[in-house]
Structures are given as C-alpha cells and as structure tokens.
C-alpha cells in the first residue's frame, strides 16, 4: 500500500511541476466551451434542444478526462527510454502495485482537470444540479481510471513516442467525437447509435450529463455498471501487459 501511495503522489507532483503544462491542458476544453458553447448555442436553442451550454459542459469535462488520462500513458514510454522505469521495477514490490499506483496518480490528475473545467464552465454560464455533484464525481473518477488504464495498455505495447501519439490520435478522436459529447444521440442513424453504444466514453458522458444537467440517454444505472465493468477489465489487462514490459 505504501508503494501505491508513493507512486500516486509522485505522479501528481511530476505533472503539476510544470505550470505551463497545466495551463495548456485546459486550453482546448476552454476553446470548446467558448467557441462551440456560444457559437452553436443559438442554433441548438432554435432547434428546440434548450441551452447548449448545459448540454456541452459535461461533454467537455469528459473530453478533458479522456485526453489527460490517456496521454499520461506517454510518460511510461519516457520512463522506459530514459531508464526511470527500470529503477522502479527493480524495487522489491510487485509490478501490479506499480501499475496501480501510476494509474491512480494519472486518474487523480485527470479528475482534477475535470474539476478545473467544471469551474470554468460555471463562469461561462453552466448551471449544474448541485445535489448531484458527488455522484458526478464518481462518474468522473470511473472515466479517469478507465482511460488512464487504457493509456497504460498502449504505452506498455508501444516503444516509441511517435508511434504512441499516432495510435492515440487514431483512438482518442473517434472515441471523443462518437461519444455524444457534442451532439445528442437521439435521432441519429441506427448505425451511429450502435457504434456509440460500444464506446465506453459515451456512458461516461451520459453519466456526467445525467447527474449535472439531467437527461440521461442510457440511464445512470446502466452508465455506472458499464463503466465499472470496463474499468475493471482494462485494469486487469493493463496490469498483465505492464508485467510483461522488458527494460
């Protein structure tokens, strides 16, 4: 447990050591909130869908968690290339503990980024359901654990940063744009709905939107169960692949 806690804390301190990194990580979500929130807001309202900012903010929060969590896996590649991971792996602790500690650290950072985006959305005009914020935090943690574990899985397989970035861009963009973060699922072609039903982020977006803004598509219980099951499976797979890393 001490090893997990130590790696957890080290991951967080390592990330927040650079203020520019923190500022840069919220630049894209802020751009989405402002440009899309105000740019498409009137169109969304005229279509009879209500306040677009209420719809968009949970999706952008999910985006922040997705990109922060999954790209933190890139640090594993840097650690492999510069020998830092080797120093960690020679310690008399299980690789499972090392992987869990790193994943918890990455997930914590991703959740903190979502909280920052949440407060920025409040300033811009987002009005969430305050009573449901604790449950929304649970969904944010599940999304963060899921995609931090996914980032670790890819980083365990890929050996170079360029390859990792190509794979992640190929994976993350479809995951984000086909999650319902930017547009409603209702009324889409059946093929699109089917694709979105197999996208884990769709359940995360739906969970955050259902708790903070109301109007869950899949149902909060379904969102929770799907996220828990996929997160556990990815943590198991990530632990296995991490244990096979050769340094």
SS3 161: helix
- pTM surpassing 0.95? no
Supply the pLDDT for residue 133. 93
Residue 207: band (very low, low, confident or very high) from pLDDT cuts 50, 70, 90 = very high
Domains in the chain, number = 1
Average pLDDT on 200-228 reads 93
Q: What is the 3-state secondary structure (H, E, C) of 37-90?
A: HHHCHHHHHHCCCCCHHHHHHHHHHHHHHHHHHHHCCHHHHHHHHCCHHHHHHC
**Rounded Cα distance, 100 and 96, in Å:** 6
Q: Which domain holds residue 72?
A: 2-243
**Rounded Cα distance, 82 and 172, in Å:** 26
pLDDT, tens digit, 9 for 90 and up, residues 109-143: 889 889 999 999 999 888 898 889 999 999 999 99
């Amino acid at each position: 447990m001490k090893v997990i806690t130590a790696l957890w804390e080290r991951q967080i301190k390592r990330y927040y050591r650079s203020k520019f990194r923190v500022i840069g990580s919220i630049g894209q979500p802020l751009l989405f909130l402002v440009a899309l929130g105000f740019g498409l807001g009137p169109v969304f309202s005229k279509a009879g869908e209500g306040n677009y900012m209420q719809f968009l903010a949970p999706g952008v929060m999910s985006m922040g968690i997705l990109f922060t969590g999954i790209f933190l896996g890139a640090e594993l590649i840097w650690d492999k290339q510069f020998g830092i991971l080797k120093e960690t792996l020679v310690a008399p602790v299980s690789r499972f503990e090392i992987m869990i500690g790193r994943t918890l650290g990455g997930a914590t950072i991703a959740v903190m980024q979502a909280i920052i985006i949440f407060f920025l959305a409040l300033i811009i005009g987002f009005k969430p359901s305050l009573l449901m914020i604790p449950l929304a935090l649970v969904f944010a943690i599940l999304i963060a654990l899921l995609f931090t574990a996914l980032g670790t899985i890819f980083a365990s397989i890929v050996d170079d940063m360029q390859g990792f970035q190509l794979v992640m861009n190929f994976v993350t963009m479809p995951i984000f744009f086909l999650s319902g973060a930017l547009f409603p699922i209702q009324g889409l072609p059946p093929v699109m709905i089917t694709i979105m039903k197999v996208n884990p982020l769709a359940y995360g977006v739906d969970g955050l939107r259902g708790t903070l803004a109301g109007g869950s598509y899949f149902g909060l219980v379904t969102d929770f169960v799907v996220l828990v099951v996929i997160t556990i499976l990815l943590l198991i797979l990530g632990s296995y692949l991490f244990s096979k890393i050769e340094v």
